[in-house]
Amino acid sequence: MTTAALTAGLERVPDQLGYLVISEDGVLASAGELENDEQTAGVMMQMVRTASRFVLSGSADVPFKRMSVILDDFVYTVTVSAQKVFVVKRQQNQREPINV
């Protein structure tokens, strides 16, 4: 898959503010608010590595499909496919539900 093919789909993610495509060697592509953000890339790589080492009892598969780092105003959604880590920064629209 060419880099363009990888990033085209990420551009279309709703509410996206930026993205990163990271491999074992380093950042393959970056855009938006995550452009050239090597620090966030490093942190996300470490988090995903740690999370992928969790093994739920009774299951040999990796226990998750997507990792979300939820902050006040935005969310980092992270997943891994074909030895590459995809990080998309998305707008967090959900607020405290208003009880009418």
Partner 1 sequence: MGCCYSSEDKPTEEEEEHLIPPSNIVCKPNGTDWPTPSVPSARTDEQALLTSILTKTAQNIIDVSAADQHMMEPHEYMDRARQYSTKLAVLGSNLPPKKALTLPSLTTQPHQVLASDLVPYSDVQQVSKIAAYAYSAISQIKVDAKEELVVQFAIP
Which residues form the interface with partner 1 (CB under 8 A)? Answer: 9-10, 12-14, 24, 48-49, 52, 62, 64-66, 68, 70, 75, 77, 79-86, 88, 90, 92, 94-97
Q: How far is the CB of 75 from partner 1 (least distance, A)?
A: 6
Q: How far is the CB of 36 from partner 1 (least distance, A)?
A: 20
Q: Residue 30 is which amino acid?
A: S
Q: Hunting for tokens 């995903």 — which residue is that?
A: 48
Q: How far is the CB of 72 from partner 1 (least distance, A)?
A: 12
Max CA distance (Å), the chain: 51
Task: Report the side by side order of strands in the sheet with 27-32.
Answer: 27-32, 16-22, 84-91, 74-81, 67-70
Give yes or no for a contact between 22 and 7, defined as CB atoms under 8 angstroms apart.
no
Closer Cβ to partner 1, 39 or 83, answer by number: 83
Give yes or no for a contact between 19 and 42, defined as CB atoms under 8 angstroms apart.
no
Q: How far is the CB of 28 from partner 1 (least distance, A)?
A: 13
Closer Cβ to partner 1, 32 or 79, answer by number: 79
